[in-house]
Amino acid sequence: MSHAAADAHLLEPGAGVYHKKLGMWVFLASEVMFFTALIGSYIILRFGAAESWPVPSTVLNIPVTALNTFILICSSVSMVKAYAAAVEGDQKRLRLWLLVTVIGGATFVGVQVFEYTHLIHEHFLPSSGLFGSTFYTMTGFHGFHVSMGVICMTWVTIQAFRGRYTRENYHGVEVIGLYWHFVDLVWIILFTIVYLI
């Protein structure tokens, strides 16, 4: 039986994709709208108060966050490798790359907690003005999304160690991969707009 024939009963009529993938696309579409609203609000507030807005590099630790961004991008690469291993039915590499992705995501969240702790110690709070409130809102919501991704990725990794995913059934890996790439892309945009501009 071909791979396409095995998946035929899972496809959504008219869309040509299985239900879980279609559901993730719909969910990510709503997330695009959510983060677009946050980023759009930030841009409007930032340029509306340009004279009183602090230079981000005077408040934020750009080098640490740049390193953290690199870690998150690397975790996206490891997710691609995990998906490729799942498609090929390579259980050993699937487990390895999923573990690397989980560690990368957890490290990102850990560094963000460290950053928040340092900023709060320096008295940079959500109540510190428009920059503080928008900074914590956007990075906080993103950090929450990454944390949920790490939890879900951990579950997928546990399932991989139990042998759930095969060359014929790797949908769980693909669906979490879509989500993971989304949060990585959002962070690249946030890092550029909030930290660098």
| Mean pLDDT value of segment 161-173 | 93
Query: Which pLDDT score, from 0 to 100, does residue 197 have?
Result: 87
Average pLDDT, the chain: 91
User: Positive or negative CA dihedral for 145, 148, 154, 157?
Assistant: negative
pLDDT at position 177 is: 97
Q: Per-residue confidence at 87, pLDDT binned at 50, 70, 90?
A: very high
Question: What is the C-alpha to C-alpha distance for residues 113 and 92, in angstroms, rounded to an integer?
Answer: 32
pLDDT score recorded for residue 2 = 45
**pLDDT for 11:** 52
pLDDT at 173 over 50: yes
The HSE-up count of residue 29 (CA atoms within 13 Å, CB side) is 6
**97-101 contacts, C-beta under 8 A, 24 or more apart:** 98/153, 98/156, 98/157, 98/160, 98/173, 99/157, 100/75, 101/75, 101/153, 101/157, 101/180
Q: Does domain 3-196 have CATH number 1.20.120.80?
A: yes
- Inform me whether the pLDDT recorded for 3 exceeds 60: no
Tens digits of per-residue pLDDT, 30-86? 999 999 999 999 999 998 887 889 999 999 999 999 999 999 999 999 999 999 999
For 42-56, b/e burial (b = at least 16 CB within 10 A) is: beeebeeeeeeeeeb
- pTM for this one? 0.89
Residue 16 has a pLDDT of 66
18 — phi, psi (to 5°)? -75, 160
Structure token pair of residue 54? 């602090």
**Which amino acid is located at 68 in the chain?**
N
Report domain extents, the chain.
3-196
> Which of the four pLDDT bands, split at 50, 70 and 90, describes residue 113?
very high
Q: What percentage of residues in the chain have a pLDDT greater than 90?
A: 83
